[in-house]
Amino acid sequence: MTKVFVILFSLFLGACALSGQTGAAPPPGDPTVFYMFLRHHDALAQDVKALAATDPARASNTQVGAAASMNLGVNDFMRIGPVYQQLESELEAVNAKANAYRDAVVSGSTTLDIAIIKGFTASRNEAIARARARLQSALTPAGWQALSAYIDGEFRNGVRVFGRTR
């Protein structure tokens, strides 16, 4: 699945390049970037966990390196995962409601209301904002400062938005 996504994303970027769209980094503090970071961290942590099953010494070095790449110590790095897991549960609940609404609209039993759709987006963003506050509380002050600088700096600058309007 990941390889398919990477291929499709690469094709999308290629199409954008051919059409002259270069994209722009989202603004600092963008909730979608924060969520993308949490997903990135989770994938990285899962890779380290899988490596630990086969080569514990190498996994330890990899974990130290992954934490250092975000200017974090290992303890702060490990505190990110539970925040992501809680956020995923919250987003699953919002998505279940959004999917039920979509199904009702498609079946014709409910009329489409843009305000309701905006409400789902607001609920997602509120859940992400709560996760951000939980993460800030979970990390050391130096860890939070380093991580927020990483997310709104290097990580955000690696994200490109195409055709987004606010």
Helix (H, G, I), strand (E, B) or coil at 144: helix
pLDDT at 107 over 60: yes
Q: Give the pTM.
A: 0.78
Helix (H, G, I), strand (E, B) or coil at 24: strand
The DSSP 8-state label assigned to residue 163 in this structure reads S
- The pLDDT of residue 57 is 85
pLDDT at 14 over 80: no
* Boundaries of every domain in the chain: 29-157
Helices (H), 20-163: 31-54, 56-69, 74-78, 80-107, 114-138, 141-150, 156-157
- The pLDDT of residue 163 is 63
Q: Averaged over 50-68, what is the pLDDT?
A: 89
